[in-house]
Amino acid sequence: MKILGFYFGNIDGIYGNQTKNAVISFQKSFGLSGDGIVGPTTWNALMPYINGALGFIIPTNISYSSSILNINLNTLRTLYPFISIGYIGKSILGKNIPFVKIGNGNKEVFYSASYHGNEWITSTVLMKFLADYCYCYKNNLSIFGYSARMLFNSATIYIVPMVNPDGVDLVTGEIGIGSPPYNLAKNISNNYPSIPFVNGWKANIRGVDLNLQFPAGWENAREIKYSQGFTSPAPRDFVGFGPLTEPEALAVYNFTLSHNFRLILAYHSQGEVIYWQFQNYNPPRSFEIGQRFSEVSGYSLEDTPFNSSFAGFKDWFIQSYNRPGYTVEVGLGTNPLPISQFDKIYADNLGILTLGAVLA
């Protein structure tokens, strides 16, 4: 509505009177019944604009839900048939977890985001990078100083932009108040009243932290998190009842096993920091690549704090393959980070995302 010129207020995620009036104005302009309800006919009228008819594809000023992700993926597939889209698995609620493949080089790298529901801004980062890379490849341009076509032919990038669609949709409001999934999460959250609901929600919809699900010191993670009081399903920091019990984590695990990734980036928020190590593992060139990432982003390169140093995806990848793996914590503040930070976050991370394929 704002881009089309029907809405002039601040974007706040609330369907208030200003938004309703904007919808009515849009409907009347398109010869529709001006009832302020975004039903099927209104959605059909809006879809060309959502799909990029005005020159934008990835919205970077709104909360990014799984529905928006899927709309954007369909648009990119139509505009750029040289990418491939598939699914690594399904969430607890049966939502597809999509992946995108771009490039045909022998080097394979893997970028993933939104392991945690209230870190949905990381999905927007990966999708914006994907859209920009596609545009640069199609038009024979450079991305972060590198020829997109050279990069395309030298490396294959796999992207899973939203590992935890259920958690993201809970935090962004796509899962409606009073619905069964909402009530399930609310009941879990009631056992941890110090964690704000829904903004403090990191877990999948049944209260398991997906970045504490991997078989890399999982027992150590359980001991640490249990000592902190997370002994049952929770909005964050519950490790589950065993490693890889959750379908979202298992999907990432199996997808990784089915490929030969030379490097992985796991995106989180917040802290403006890059974690590069797992225990005493020191994969060849890992520190040097991490230094380059630090240089181009301004983020600090650090060892993972002990209490967070087990059972993450990056940890398992390094343990299993002895290859460079990084957790990148974008932005600063309290999750979910305000979307007003997006432009800086993206500028900080464009170099990391490009160099990941160059340096792998």
Catalytic site positions: 329
221-230 LR contacts (CB < 8 Å, sep 24+): 221/310, 221/311, 224/307, 224/310, 228/307
Q: What does the angle CA 160 – CA 163 – CA 164 come to, to the nearest 5 degrees?
A: 155
CB atoms under 10 Å from CB of 352, counted, come to 26
8 Å CB contact between 98 and 85: yes
In DSSP notation, 177-196 reads TTSHHHHHHHHHHHT-TTS-
Measured between alpha carbons, how far is 91 from 70 in angstroms, rounded to an integer?
Answer: 14
Measured between alpha carbons, how far is 119 from 241 in angstroms, rounded to an integer?
Answer: 24
Any idea how long the chain is? 360
Phi, psi dihedrals of residue 98, rounded to the nearest 5°: -80, 155
